Structure 1
Amino acid sequence: MTNRFEGRRIAVTGAAGGIGRAICESLVAQGAQVHGLDRTGLDGLPDGVAGASIDLLSEESVVSAVRDLYAADDCPVELVNCAGVVEDDVPAEEMPMAQFDLVMGVNLRGVFLTCREFGRELLARGGGAIVNIASMSGNAIVNHPQRQSVYNSSKAAVSALGRSLAVEWGPRGVRVNTVSPGYVDTPLNALKTQMHEQWKRETVLGRFAAPVEIARAVEYFLSEDSAFCCGAELLIDGGFALR
């Protein structure tokens, strides 16, 4: 396990967040050369992670970030799409379009842009793996009691995008798969203490996932253990969707 990603270059978007940071830490510990891509917080990345700024709302920024990675080293760079935002608890009938555009811009457009740019380079170099982080709220459940119609919709789109890219790119050597977490113990969720009791009560295992548990699922899809997975989606929700 210690060096199973040795010699691999892997970019992680949202690298400064709770799940993204855990993914970076674990990949570095297993020998990968990790490029942490984030809009803010690059100074707080784990040791051994090369940080670079990226704005997922900007096509120019995404194209530039990928170009810079290959300017330094022409070896393939695989991708984990972990960046995401969520709207405040807003009823759909009161949703400002600026907030709609932000959530869809980061969660869907940004994921498409990074998949397109990294995928293009992987296709040209013989293949590799892309893992997108969606959510249980993308198809298994609707988030509640919070009202997040736009977030739920964006994550459903990420799941559909992953399946579509898998069909297009799988025959040419690029495997695209999806991890869909339930509630995870992250700084973002820590702010919503008033909802914790209900979330845990409705989770069969009665707790949140640790970020490293999501990282392990990502590593499975990056590894040769999942060589026959193409367009798969792994739901890691502690049984929340069963209730």
Structure 2
Amino acid sequence: MAWPEGAVVVVTGAAGGVGHACAAWLAERGAQVFSLDRREPADVVGTFVAVDVLDEASVDAAVAAVVDAAGRVDALVAAAGISEEPTPAEEMSAATWSRTIGVNLTGVFLTCQRVGRVMLGQGAGRIVTIASMSGAHVVNNPQQQVAYNSSKGGLVAMTKSLAFEWASRGVRVNALSPGYVDTPLLGSKHELHDQWKSVTPLRRFAEPAEVAAAAAWLLSDEAAFCCGTEMLMDGGYTLA
């Protein structure tokens, strides 16, 4: 995989799960990684920068810190995301809806917008948003998660819109939509793991490193003709 040595990469949601795996994968291959999250993990990859993706001033400050330190931003992996506890739609609170949409959609937009401004000024950049098979391909079963599904569906549409607007100015934007990934996000739903695996043709969850490798490919030169692409990697879950 062609990956520029020393490329400056920003990863949000880098304290754990897919975000941390992406940061580690890229750093191991020579990228200069800036790990952005609300809290600093014990095993931070690269340089940690605190950010609250729901706060415009916080996002502005985090992006400015990266540019001050590195002089540019070559790539962004927007992996910050949350999932609400399964709740019937008719019982979901407005606060839960707003927070889920806020982090998963508005927060990703603010991050992409601010980093995108830097990339547009450079005339080059690569962005991958971490969406989900739940966004446009499946309504999960049996858990009811209307806010999460809606946020990820919106994220796919947003990714395509940004790709269309920015491609002619040198910035590629694509989405990666995993199925179930073996991360702490699934930890509270152990009773459903066997059911989810049983209807996944590969009979397992994705490893975070597998998702990281796919994200890195979308950022790489090999994916230079991918523009507004949504890469689905679900182990065959949505085939049924």
SS of equivalent residue, structure 2 residue 174:
strand
**Residues 54-86 of structure 1: CA distance to partner in whole angstroms, max 9, x if unpaired?**
001101100111111112231334210001001
Q: Quick one: which amino acid aligns to residue 18 of structure 1?
A: G
1:145 matches 2:142: yes
Conservation of the 8 A alpha-carbon contact between 2:10 and 2:73:
no
SS at match of 1:44: coil
Answering whether residue 113 of structure 2 is matched by residue 136 of structure 1, we say no
Of 67, 70, 73 in structure 1, the residue corresponding to residue 70 of structure 2 is 73
TM-score, normalised with respect to structure 1: 0.96
| Alignment partner, residue 227 of structure 1 | 224
Matches within 5 A, 1:209-220: 209-220=206-217
Runs of 5+ unmatched residues, structure 2: none
SS in 2 for 1:45: coil
1:177 and 2:174 matched: yes
Do the aligned partners of 1:5 and 1:30 also contact (CA within 8 Å) in 2? no
Letter in structure 2 aligned against 1:102? R
Partner of 1:11: 10
Of the three residues 113, 117, 127, the one matched with 1:116 is: 113
Residue segments in structure 1 that go unaligned for 5+ positions in a row = none
Distance change >3 Å, CA 19–CA 133, structure 1 → 2? same
TM-score w.r.t. the length of structure 2 is 0.97
Matches within 5 A, 1:41-120: 41-46=40-45, 49-120=46-117
Q: Which residue of 2 aligns with 1:159?
A: 156
User: What is the letter of the counterpart of residue 18 of structure 2?
Assistant: I
Q: Deviations over 1:81-109 (max 9, x none)?
A: 00100111111001111111110110000
Contact 2:134 2:152 in 1 (8 A): yes
The one-letter code of the counterpart of 1:73 is A
Sequence identity percentage: 50
CA contact (8 A) 2:26 2:33 kept: yes
- For residues 149 and 181 of structure 1, the distance between their equivalents in structure 2, rounded to whole angstroms, comes to 18
Separation in structure 2 between the aligned mates of residue 25 and residue 74 of structure 1, nearest angstrom? 21
1:32 and 2:31 aligned: yes
In angstroms, what is the RMSD of aligned CA positions?
1.1
Hey, what does 1:21 align to over in structure 2? Answer: 20
Query: Which of these residues, 200, 203, 215, is aligned with residue 200 of structure 2?
Result: 203
Shift of 1:121: 0.5
Q: CA deviation at 1:190?
A: 2.5
In 1: Cα distance, 2:162 partner to 2:132 partner: 18
Aligned length: 240
Q: How many Å separate the matches in 1 of 2:73 and 2:23? A: 17
SS at match of 1:88: coil
> 1: CA distance between counterparts of 2:48 and 2:40?
9
Please state whether the residue corresponding to 1:143 is helix, strand or coil.
coil
Letter in 2 for 1:207: R
- Structure 1 runs (4+) greater than 2 angstroms displaced: 41-44
Residue type at the aligned position of 1:152:
N
Contact 2:8 2:33 in 1 (8 A): yes
> 1:16 deviation in Å?
1.0
Take 1:124 and 1:95, find their aligned partners in 2: how far apart are those partners?
Answer: 42
